[in-house]
Amino acid sequence: MTILGIETSCDETAAALVENGHTLISQSVASSLEQHKITGGIVPEVAARAQIEYITPVLHATLENIKLSAVTKKALPEKTHLPVIANIDAIAVTVGPGLIGSLLVGVETAKSLAYAWNKPLIPINHMLGHIYGAWLTYGEDMDRIWPKLALLVSGGHTELILLKSHTDMQKIGQTLDDAAGEAFDKVAKLLGLEYPGGPSLSKLAEIGDPLAISFPLPMNQKSDINFSFSGLKTAVLHYVRQHPSANKADIAASFQHTVITSLVNKTKHAAQQYGAKEIILGGGVAANKLLRQQLSHSLLPIPVRIPALEFTTDNGAVIAAAAHYHNHPVQPFDIQVSPNLPLGRPV
Ligand code: KG4
Ligand code: ZN
């Protein structure tokens, strides 16, 4: 089964063709990131306008398996022709959570294509998509071991999901305030680093001492598997104010060390409590090198499935992969965006 996945929930415009839930045939991603660097954060109106500009070139590049120019977002000269449209079995699209203006662009596009091509239309939860980066990376082998525990860490969410099967999933922990990616973005901003904060802060942290400053470890009670990052962000703010000439790399490294220790400790505790036999990492923060290393190392002997980098930040492939296992089509004219959609609610 070949599914065309479309993802436009935030500042990435992405599409991909995926076969059988794990084999990537082609994909294309454009981002309005450069525009958000100017404002130091995402302006929803700007992100939505960029979605409108990029969606057609991204679809064109995906369907023809050609590269997209980073500068003009136009598809570059053709390489290979892909399966004809007749061979696409369904269209999947992110319906939430995300920014309403951005979501609408993908949903309206998918709706029009499903109607015009007479294909089933599958609505997908963005966070569910983040789980399936592991299937694209490890293939069918992912279907062997259950229950699994997914640590989903993105700009808007930090969640622990227990999966007993593809369809039996339960949220067992989440952030009570800021998401991990949001904390990276906010602390990076107060250190004067460029948006998005995750990549810029973790780069600076490479030359800092992670043990230079001892920030309080959030929600450190062993029995609690929820997260909190807002107090840590405030602690960094106070530290920066009280030590204006402190080494920024040390602050970045100490902050990153604290966030990752919290993520890893909670995941380890939840895995023990719920008897998870495999761990999945997903979401934009899953691109963080230290998190990838520490999680794999600390959870031993439980295997940790780390997604390939291209499947961490937002992309259409994970949406198409999720749709393979959550194939519940709706009538094109019935599909709706759901900006606050929680994981687990039917869409
Ligand atoms: O999943 P994603 O692309 O978008 C959302 O669904 O939110 O995640 C974006 C988040 C941003 O907060 C970004 O700063 C963070 O992922 N991020 C990172 C890294 N790369 C991206 N955080 C820490 N370290 C990284 N290397
Ligand atoms: Zn995401």
Rounded Cα gap, residues 75 and 68, in angstroms: 4
pLDDT of residue 222: 74
pLDDT digit string (tens) for 10-61? 999 999 999 999 999 999 999 999 999 999 999 999 999 999 999 999 999 9
pLDDT of residue 248: 98
- CA of 9 from ligand 2 middle (Å) equals 8
Q: In which region does residue 38 sit, left (phi positive, over 0), alpha (psi from -120 to 50) or beta (all else)?
A: alpha
Q: What is the pTM of this model?
A: 0.95
Substitution site in 95, 184, 290 for ligand 1 pocket (most atoms within 8 Å of beta carbon):
184
Substitution site in 178, 285, 290, 319 for ligand 1 pocket (most atoms within 8 Å of beta carbon):
285
pLDDT of residue 99: 98
- CA of 94 from ligand 2 middle (Å) equals 10
pLDDT of residue 159: 97
Cβ of 285 less than 6 Å from ligand 1: yes
Cβ of 199 less than 6 Å from ligand 1: yes
Length of the chain: 347
pLDDT of residue 82: 58
Strand partners, 90: 3
pLDDT of residue 83: 58
pLDDT digit string (tens) for 112-123? 999 999 999 999
Residues of the chain with pLDDT under 70: 70-71, 76-83
Atom number, ligand 1, closest to the C-alpha of residue 197 = 14
Other beta carbons within 10 Å of 237: 13
Atom number, ligand 1, closest to the C-alpha of residue 179 = 12
